[in-house]
């Protein structure tokens, strides 16, 4: 399967990428290519121009940013897995990155591409939503920060504008856990459940349980009111719209989500 014809430009810095995107309404950024190239091969996606930001190594970092941790958008999944700063301050991210696809996928895929793609099955998307991460985007008008709650707007849709490049993701220093159910090794999540302590509350997030990564706010409220993990997890149905597809029915997903949320909460 060969993608449709496209033009190719490699950006040497972020503002050049912004400028190149401005040339063509059908242009797309190329980071690790591990969501985009499969979609292009199937011709689900047919950009006329690819702007390659895969070599922007100055966007490949994990560092302290005040009381938060800042992660460059071009940081690869494999970088997250081994990162000492994350292990100390937000271990959940590296642990979840280790569950993405397989080593070959983790060598190429980036955290920025994982969230910018807006895939409801993205593990890191769910975790960053649960952590209430802040997304920093640069566009023609300069830089802006987007809160996680406003970032995931629909299936394969985010708050990023056409000409905006996601440059950095900021997360709190905190503890959490992520549980992922897969049918076979290296599969995407049939269901994933995240729990993390953020600003004195326990946040709960879900993967593959609706049109985007979701927060299970009814579950969170029940916990805040003192419910046990099992009682809180029973509320998942009120927070999710699980799809039926080739890997699971909606009912089975709901069952899995209740079990995974309970187990995640028991570990908090």
Partner 1 sequence: MTSVALTVNGSRCEADVEPRQLLVYFLRDRLGLKGTNVGCDTTSCGACTVLVDDESVKSCTVFAVQADGSEVTTVEGLARGDALHPVQQAFHEQHALQCGYCTPGFVLATVSLLKENPNPSETEIREGLEGNLCRCTGYHNIVKAVQAAARAGA
Ligand X SMILES: Cc1cc2nc3c(=O)[nH]c(=O)nc-3n(C[C@H](O)[C@H](O)[C@H](O)COP(=O)(O)OP(=O)(O)OC[C@H]3O[C@@H](n4cnc5c(N)ncnc54)[C@H](O)[C@@H]3O)c2cc1C
Calpha distance 137→148 (Å, rounded): 12
When CB distances are held under 5 to 8 angstroms depending on the partner's kind, the choice from partner 1, ligand X, none that residue 166 binds is ligand X
Residue with tokens 């969501």: 35
CB 94 within 8 A of CB 179: no
Q: Where do contacts with partner 1 occur on this chain (CB under 8 A)?
A: 1-8, 10, 30, 33-34, 37-38, 40-41, 50, 52, 54, 78, 101-105, 107-108, 185-186
Task: With CA atoms as reference, report the closest residue to 13 among 49, 48, 55.
Answer: 55
Q: Is residue 71 within 8 Å of 127, Cβ to Cβ?
A: no
Buried b (16+ CB within 10 A) or exposed e, 41-64: eeeebebebbbbbbebeebbbbee
Choose from partner 1, ligand X, none: what does 87 bind? Cβ within 5-8 Å by kind: none
Binding to ligand X by residue 202, rule CB under 6 A?
Answer: no
User: Any contact of residue 22 with ligand X (CB under 6 A)?
Assistant: no
Smallest gap from Cβ 199 to ligand X, in A, equals 25
Residue 73, interface with ligand X (CB under 6 A)? yes
CB of residue 3 to partner 1, shortest distance in Å: 5
Stretch that binds ligand X, among 18-26, 99-107, 213-221, 235-243 (CB under 6 A): 99-107
116 is a site residue for ligand X (CB under 6 A):
yes
Question: How far is residue 79's CA from residue 209's CA, in Å, rounded to a whole number?
Answer: 27
In the bound state with partner 1, the residue whose beta carbon lies nearer, of 87 and 108, is: 108
Upper half-sphere CA count for residue 69 (Cβ side, 13 Å): 24
100 lines the binding site for ligand X (CB under 6 A): yes
Does 127 bind ligand X (CB under 6 A)? Our answer is no
Cβ neighbours for 38, distance < 8 A, ≥ 6 positions apart? none
- Least separation, in Å, of the C-beta of 260 and ligand X? 15
Among 165, 195, 219, 223, binds ligand X (CB under 6 A): 165
State whether residue 134 is helix, strand or coil.
Answer: strand
Closest to partner 1 by CB, 50 or 166: 50
Q: Is the CB of residue 267 less than 8 Å from the CB of residue 175? A: no
Indicate whether 229 belongs to the interface with ligand X (CB under 6 A).
no
Please say which residue, 36 or 71, places its beta carbon nearer to ligand X: 36
Asked if 178 and 123 count as a contact pair (C-beta separation under 8 A), the reply is yes
Contact residues for ligand X (CB under 6 A)?
28-36, 38, 73, 100-101, 105, 108-110, 112-114, 116-117, 119, 122-124, 160, 165-166, 188
């Amino acid at each position: 399967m060969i993608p449709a014809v496209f033009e190719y430009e490699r950006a040497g810095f972020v503002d050049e990428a912004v400028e190149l995107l401005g040339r063509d309404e059908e242009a797309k950024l190329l980071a690790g290519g591990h969501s985009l190239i499969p979609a292009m091969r199937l011709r689900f996606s047919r950009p006329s121009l690819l702007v390659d930001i895969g070599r922007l190594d100055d966007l490949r970092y994990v560092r302290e940013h005040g009381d938060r941790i800042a992660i460059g958008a071009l940081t690869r999944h494999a970088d997250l897995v081994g990162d000492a700063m994350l292990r100390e301050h937000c271990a959940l991210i590296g642990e979840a990155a280790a569950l993405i696809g397989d080593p070959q996928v983790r060598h190429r895929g980036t955290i920025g591409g994982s969230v910018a793609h807006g895939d409801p099955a993205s593990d890191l998307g769910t975790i960053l939503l649960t952590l209430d991460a802040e997304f920093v985007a640069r566009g023609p008008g300069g830089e802006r920060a987007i809160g996680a709650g406003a970032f995931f707007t629909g299936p394969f849709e985010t708050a990023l504008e056409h000409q905006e490049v996601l440059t950095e993701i900021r997360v709190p220093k905190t503890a959490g856990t992520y549980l992922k159910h897969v049918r076979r090794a290296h599969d995407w999540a049939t269901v994933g459940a995240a729990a993390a302590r953020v600003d004195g509350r326990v946040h709960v997030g879900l993967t593959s349980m609706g049109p985007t990564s979701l927060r299970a706010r009814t579950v969170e409220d029940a916990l805040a009111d003192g419910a046990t993990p099992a009682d809180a997890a029973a509320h998942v149905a009120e927070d999710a719209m699980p799809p039926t597809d080739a890997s699971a029915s909606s009912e089975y997903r709901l069952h899995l989500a209740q079990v995974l949320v309970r187990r995640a909460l028991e570990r908090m």
